[in-house]
Amino acid sequence: MSALIERLEKEYAEKHPGSKHLYERALRCFASGVTHDARYARPFPIYMVKADGTRKWDVDGNDYVDYVMGHGALLFGYNDERLTAVLEDVLAYVHMGSCTELEIEWAEMVKKLVPCARDGLVRACACGGEAIEMATRLARIYTGRDRVVIHENCYHGKWELINIGHSGPPYGLCNVRGIPKAVRDLVTIVPYNKPELLRRVFAEGDVACIIFQGNAPYTRDYIREVRELTTEYGVVFILDEVVSGFRYAAGGAQEYYGVTPDIAVLGKIVGGGAPIGAVCGSREIMKYHEFRDGDDYWNRFVRIRVGGTWNAQPLSIRAGLEAMRIIDRERDEIYPRLYEICDKLTGFIEDAAETSGIEASAAGVPPERPMVSIRPRFGSGASPLAHYVYYLSLTNSGVNPFGGFRFIPCVKYTEEDLKRTEEAIRRAFDNLREGNLVPPKKP
């Protein structure tokens, strides 16, 4: 095993001397040399210089089939000519600090595509994490309650209230230093797909909202039961569609599952890849943003008084508007193609596991047919080094995964792209077998 890793690391270092040099510089600027946890990689991360379509190029001239896609923000790949063309139109007024017709057109498209927004209202903000904060505060004002329920292992941004459930197990205890106990005591963390447990939590009272991560392994039955429970107990159902929005379907996870939340949080694709966040949903909840002429009490003590320098800034709004127009116009081509690509990626992992004779399968979300994030799931007893060898193998083969092992696809991969990906996965699984890092397949 040590010989295998030594060989892969040697190949990695020989292919990426420029990245190694940049990482050494980065260590003098950033903790661990990175600005995002998912970009941390051993022995060092790869530094990119350009991207186009489905490909990226690093500082050493290596090209990669890319499966990061702007952390899922780029449904149409890099440098889509339709999006770049409209961005050029607004470069002269990136930030005027004024209302624009663009923001109305953008919100109208959100209302057209997103089920919970159709009879409701929309509020723009700077990012998905900020939108989660606002949605939670709206739920608390609306219900008059304080407690928030989240699910184990779900990520909703950096805000301390909802960040405590992301790391674990044990959830609620890992990576929570600096978050006051008084804040942590306002959060209940529950496992997936346990409606009977959720009923007990709701019955205790004081629950303002439950936050779902749209791209998490929920069952359809669970989501539908939760919709019934939230209605029964007067709990606000917040669906975090920062990743799943416009990926599961044109109307996001809520369209895919057939369950409409009270509030949805959007990001990524709703900005066409530019920085953005949005809250949308029920007028009865969203009304707490409104001004009321002549109602001094409401304006001073009830409504949310917030700004946001980058709310609805033209670059994000224009790119997001165009992305949604494309989705609305081409949904009958976009989603079948996306599903086809994801089915092929899933099949590559399953076939490689079968050929290599090791205990592994494809996993991802949604669980019954992964189409947002696709990864290998190794059998019990796999070495902690399995994912490291998998990452080294893929990278050396010219495939760039997200976070070291996941695929987040766009709709534009060619047969050549997919062939390289298939070969890279097969090579990675051969290395896993060679190093005895994953148990053999059970007879």
pLDDT in tens, 92-141: 888 888 999 999 999 999 999 999 999 999 999 999 999 999 999 999 99
Q: What pLDDT, on a 0 to 100 scale, did the predictor assign at position 93?
A: 84
Query: According to the 3-state scheme, what is the secondary structure of 121-165?
Result: EEEEECCHHHHHHHHHHHHHHHHCCCEEEEECCCCCCCCHHHHCC
Mean pLDDT, range 397-422, rounded to an integer:
97
CA angle (286 as vertex; 75, 103 as ends), nearest 5 = 50
Residues 197 and 109 in one domain: yes
Q: Are strands 147-151 and 121-125 parallel, antiparallel or unpaired?
A: unpaired
The range of the structural domain enclosing residue 114 comes to 96-312
Which of 279, 312, 345 corresponds to the end of one domain? 312
322-340 pLDDT per residue, tens:
999 999 999 999 999 999 9
- Judged against a pLDDT cut of 70, whether residue 234 lies above it is answered with yes
Mean pLDDT, range 47-70, rounded to an integer:
98
Sequence length of the chain is 443
Within a domain: 51: yes
With 0-12 CB in 10 A as exposed, 13-18 as middle and 19+ as buried, what is 105?
middle
Instruction: State the Rg of the chain over Cα.
Output: 23
Residues 234 and 353 in one domain: no
- Average confidence score pLDDT of the chain: 95
- Judged against a pLDDT cut of 90, whether residue 64 lies above it is answered with yes
Q: What pLDDT, on a 0 to 100 scale, did the predictor assign at position 76?
A: 98
DSSP SS3 for 94? coil
Q: Per the structure, how many domains does the chain have?
A: 2
Q: What is the CATH number of the domain that holds 372?
A: 3.90.1150.10
Residues 259 and 339 in one domain: no
Q: How confident is the model at residue 1 (pLDDT cuts 50, 70, 90)?
A: low
Within a domain: 66: yes
**Percentage of residues in the chain with pLDDT exceeding 70?**
100
**Percentage of residues in the chain with pLDDT exceeding 90?**
92
Residues 146 and 214 in one domain: yes
Alpha-carbon gap, residue 373 to 280, rounded angstroms: 24
- Judged against a pLDDT cut of 90, whether residue 371 lies above it is answered with no
List, in order, residues 6 or more apart from 291 with CB less than 8 Å away: 299, 303
Residues 142 and 290 in one domain: yes
- Judged against a pLDDT cut of 70, whether residue 31 lies above it is answered with yes
138-179 pLDDT per residue, tens:
999 999 999 999 999 999 999 999 899 999 999 999 999 999
Mean pLDDT, range 380-398, rounded to an integer:
96
Q: What pLDDT, on a 0 to 100 scale, did the predictor assign at position 96?
A: 87
Within a domain: 84: no
- Judged against a pLDDT cut of 70, whether residue 438 lies above it is answered with yes
Q: What pLDDT, on a 0 to 100 scale, did the predictor assign at position 94?
A: 82
CA angle (160 as vertex; 155, 163 as ends), nearest 5 = 20
Residues 260 and 344 in one domain: no
List, in order, residues 6 or more apart from 123 with CB less than 8 Å away: 134, 278, 279, 280, 286, 289, 311
User: What are φ and ψ of residue 153, in 5° steps?
Assistant: 70, 5
Which of 262, 277, 312 corresponds to the end of one domain? 312
46 within 8 A of 400, measured Cβ to Cβ? yes
The residues with which 66 forms a beta bridge, in sequence order, are 400
Which of 116, 321, 320, 338 has the alpha carbon at shortest distance from 249?
Answer: 338
Residues 258 and 191 in one domain: yes
Within a domain: 155: yes
Distance, C-alpha 414 to centroid of its chain: 24
Residues 339 and 307 in one domain: no
Q: How confident is the model at residue 369 (pLDDT cuts 50, 70, 90)?
A: confident
Within a domain: 87: no
HSE value, Cβ hemisphere, 13 Å, CA-based, for 211: 35
Mean pLDDT, range 373-397, rounded to an integer:
96
Residue 157: how many CB atoms within 10 A of its CB?
20
Q: How confident is the model at residue 368 (pLDDT cuts 50, 70, 90)?
A: confident
**Largest Cα–Cα distance in the chain?**
76
Mean pLDDT, range 293-308, rounded to an integer:
95
Alpha-carbon gap, residue 188 to 191, rounded angstroms: 10
Distance, C-alpha 63 to centroid of its chain: 24
322 within 8 A of 86, measured Cβ to Cβ? yes
Q: What is the CATH number of the domain that holds 290?
A: 3.40.640.10
Which of 244, 269, 272 has the alpha carbon at shortest distance from 372?
Answer: 244
210 within 8 A of 150, measured Cβ to Cβ? yes
DSSP code of residue 240:
E
Q: What pLDDT, on a 0 to 100 scale, did the predictor assign at position 379?
A: 87
Residues 299 and 336 in one domain: no
Within a domain: 265: yes
Which of 67, 61, 235 has the alpha carbon at shortest distance from 142?
Answer: 235
Which of 260, 279, 312 corresponds to the end of one domain? 312
Alpha-carbon gap, residue 80 to 88, rounded angstroms: 13
Residue 382 Cα distances to 103, 165, 210, 389, angstroms? 50, 25, 34, 12
202 within 8 A of 195, measured Cβ to Cβ? no
Residues 378 and 422 in one domain: yes
Within a domain: 204: yes
Tokens 């050494």 appear where? Answer: 24
Residues 71 and 107 in one domain: no
Within a domain: 121: yes
Q: What pLDDT, on a 0 to 100 scale, did the predictor assign at position 92?
A: 85
Residues 224 and 285 in one domain: yes
